[in-house]
Amino acid sequence: MQEYTPNMRRVKTAVIGTGFMGRVHSEAIRRLGNVDVAAVAAHRAEEAVAFGQAIGVERTTADYREILADPKIEAVHICTPNAVHYPMAKAALEAGKAVLCEKPLSMSAKEAQDMVALAESKNLPNCVNHNLRFYPVVQQIRRMIEAGELGTSWLSKARTRRIGCSTRPITTGASRRPQTGRFA
């Protein structure tokens, strides 16, 4: 990863989804230095406004398509329920936006293949986030495996708990609603 320098071009991105992962992505974006969260979208306008106020983003909407229509937004982070990842990511790619989508990319292999083909045809990044990869404990285990400190691994099992992220207090909270296509 390229280290941030003050003369780097600023990139405007949007976060779609205001639950737990929306907060995690917003904090990660803030720490990059050259990327700004320029807009936030949620299923309901009041959720978007509350989240935007909590993270210092003025532009909010209940319709993610408004963000996709904005030529100043170069990328989107899709942090919504799984069932709407594919239609949102597909719409974003069709609108010329780079996509960073929470896992899973889609609900079927066919949808994932279609999205990969679309991204390639548009020459756009289409990424799936695996946020644990860079956790310090995961990196430590990786180093231990590479150094042979753990011997031959035949089976591994790990458990994690959501412990939040280090942001200022946000009152929107993670969604407890069923994962349905409510954003579509």
Spatial neighbors of 68 by CB under 8 A, at least 6 apart, are: 76, 91, 92, 95, 97
User: CA gyration radius for the chain?
Assistant: 18
Amino acid at 86: Y
Q: CA 62 to CA 44: how far, in whole Å?
A: 5
* DSSP assigned state of 73: -
Q: Is the pTM of this model over 0.75?
A: no
Across residues 4-11, what is the average pLDDT? 76
pLDDT above 70 for 79: yes
Q: CA 85 to CA 73: how far, in whole Å?
A: 18
In the chain the domains, ranked by start, together with CATH numbers, are 11-146 (3.40.50.720)
Q: What percent of the chain has pLDDT over 90?
A: 57
Long-range pairs of 119-123 with CB within 8 A, sequence gap ≥ 24: 119/93, 122/93, 122/94, 122/96
Reduced to 3 states, what is the DSSP secondary structure of residue 75?
strand
For 93-145, write each residue's pLDDT tens digit: 999 999 999 988 899 999 999 999 999 999 999 998 776 766 777 778 888 88
Q: Higher-confidence residue: 6 or 183?
A: 6
Q: How confident is the model at residue 156 (pLDDT cuts 50, 70, 90)?
A: confident
- Mean of the per-residue pLDDT values for the chain? 84
